[in-house]
Amino acid sequence: MEFLPLFFDLKNSNVLIVGGGEVAKRKASLLVKSGAVVHLISPEIKADLVELIVSNKGVITKDVFSEEFVKNKRLIIAATNDQAINKHIADLANQLNTPVNVVDQPELCSFIFPAIVDRSPIIAAVSSGGSSPVLARLLRAKIETVLPSTYGRLAQLAEKYRDKVKLAFSDVNKRRGFWEKILSGPVSEMVFAGKEKEAEQLLKETLDSKESPKRELGEVYLVGAGPGDPDLLTFKALRLMQQADVVLYDRLVSQPIIDLCRRDADFVNVGKARANHLVPQDDINQLLVDYAKKGHRVLRLKGGDPFIFGRGGEEIEKLAENGVPFQVVPGITAAAGCSSYAGIPLTHRDYAQSVRFVTGHLKDDTSDLPWSELAYLNQTIVFYMGLMGLPVICKKLIENGMPKETPIALVQQGTTPNQKVIIATLDTMVETLKTQEVSAPTLIIVGEVVSLHDKLKWFSPIKDLNIA
């Protein structure tokens, strides 16, 4: 082990930074967060660095370095672009037995800055000992994905009851067991869900009874899985996916995303296709209630966003009626994901002042839409679930005044390796599809912004088809 990881308490401590550039600013930002009083010296100092130091009660000296500045400092950081000065600072610090860090010269350092994941008061730090700072940052990014920001609030709650738990459990092993059950059970889940008052009440009750907190009623996580690319999942979605006991998923959820769920969970396919509902919606709603009432943590995984043509509202209505707790995690809706991956900015200001999301068929399978409003110029229209109704869509838009030369795009399986984009016009798209194989899920985008596809496309695993 090249360096022993330690955590310094620097509150109200004087620390020295020599240097006035961007690197010095990064170090100063960390130090002021820790409550240190930063003394910074350099002939030239960035204006925003001066602001940072002064606003946090630090001291600025615009001058060349001299030995007097190293005295009475808890830490010293050399961040100049002159290696000779940096070495001189390190030598002086070592003579005074003061910890010193020399930026990009680990051989001169008595301590180094790790890559930090800040969930105060929980802090995780990763270091390569100076051998590969980039690798340390990449590892930090991985840790970021599994440490929700709410861990800090969970730690604060634990700190609040630490002394009371000590009094209640004199035996160290029993005390440790109590905290393990609290921090990995319903109390922690309530904190993560933002129900901190309920979490504290349950902790109190559990402490009074000296028993493990019980989950008499489960919870449902309504999670948007996005349009297909697993990298588009939110941190919160991933965390809930990995702790659910039961997973109900739609056919629009890609297999790579399903594979990220907890491996030993029970998986239930409730996928729906047009005119072929594997499990009717009312039955899905009831399944969520039934599983939760058995005490399960239930993941309802839906393609895109649950509240944009995803029937998420119907599902949580049923949960609310039955007193079942739930959380909703937004996902990237297909319109945003597919248009971005197709290089079609929905609201480019030179082409569109508004965008409308429209379902291709309503609950009773009709397409009774306000066509005159949709045919409005300088507007982008995105049709969900409109592939079967495409001939009607094109015909009605032209009949209501939209120029037949208006570009239209079909994006099949957007954001995935199987993405396919077909570009034509309102007048030619139906004929074009007679020679193309297209299947759901497919998103339809209508408007002048579609003309930017050729110029802005950046993701094209399958050759796009452009047909005038």
> What tokens appear for 29 in the block?
């930002």
Task: Please provide residue 132's backbone torsions phi and psi, each rounded to the nearest 5 degrees.
Answer: -155, 80
Q: What percent of the chain has pLDDT over 70?
A: 94
Grade residue 301 by pLDDT with cuts at 50, 70 and 90. Answer: very high
Given a cut of 70, whether residue 442 has pLDDT beyond it is yes
Distance from C-alpha of 109 to C-alpha of 100, rounded to nearest angstrom: 6
Q: How many CB atoms lie within 10 A of CB 416?
A: 20
In the prediction, which pLDDT does 439 show? 83
Find out whether 59 and 53 touch, Cβ atoms under 8 Å: yes
Mean pLDDT of 54-64: 95
- Determine the pLDDT at residue 287: 96
Over residues 136-152, the mean pLDDT reads 85
Q: What residues are paired with 331 via a beta bridge?
A: none
Could you tell me the strand order of the sheet in which 59-61 lies? Answer: 59-61, 37-41, 14-18, 75-78, 100-102
For residue 464, pLDDT beyond 80: no
Task: Return the active site residues.
Answer: 250, 272
All structural domains of the chain, each given as residue ranges with its CATH number in brackets, are 14-113 (3.40.50.720), 151-209 (no CATH), 219-332 (3.40.1010.10), 335-466 (3.30.950.10)
Question: What local confidence, expressed as pLDDT, does residue 213 receive?
Answer: 59
Among the residue ranges 41-55, 58-72, 145-159, 357-371, the one predicted with the least confidence is: 357-371
Q: How far apart are CA 313 and CA 421, in angstroms?
A: 31
Average predicted confidence (pLDDT) for the chain: 90
Task: Write down the pLDDT at residue 341.
Answer: 96
pLDDT the model gives residue 192: 87
Tokens of 5: 């990881």
pLDDT of 217 strictly over 90: no
Look at residue 368 in the predicted model and tell me its pLDDT.
78
Share of the chain above pLDDT 90, in %: 66
pLDDT beyond 90 at 299: yes
Structure tokens at 86: 């940096």
pLDDT at 398: 96
- 65, pLDDT greater than 80: yes
The token pair at 74 is: 């808890």
Name every residue whose Cβ is closer than 8 Å to that of residue 249 and which is 6 or more positions away in sequence: 225, 258, 267, 268, 269, 270, 271, 299, 301, 302
pLDDT of residue 214: 57
Q: What is the pLDDT of residues 394-435, one digit of tens each?
A: 999 999 999 999 999 999 999 999 999 999 999 999 999 999
- Has residue 17 got a pLDDT over 80? yes
Q: What angle do CA 206, 211, 215 make, to 5 degrees?
A: 70
Q: Can you say whether residue 34 is alpha, beta or left, with left for phi > 0 and alpha for psi between -120 and 50 degrees?
A: alpha
Taking CA atoms, 70 is separated from 15, 36, 41, 91, 100, in Å, by 9, 16, 11, 11, 10
Tell me the whole-structure pTM to 2 decimals.
0.72
Q: Map residue 165 onto helix, strand or coil.
A: helix
pLDDT of residue 155: 92
| Long-range contacts formed by 142-149: CB under 8 A, 24+ apart | 143/117, 144/117, 144/235, 145/235, 145/238, 146/238, 146/239, 147/117, 147/119, 147/122, 148/119, 148/192, 148/235, 148/236, 148/239, 149/119
Q: Do 358 and 383 touch, CB atoms closer than 8 A?
A: yes
Torsion of CA 444, 449, 455, 456, to 10 degrees: -70
Rounded Cα–Cα distance for residues 266 and 248 (Å): 9
Q: What is the pLDDT of residue 462?
A: 61
Q: Tell me: the pLDDT tens digits for 343-379? A: 999 999 999 999 999 987 644 555 678 999 999 889 9
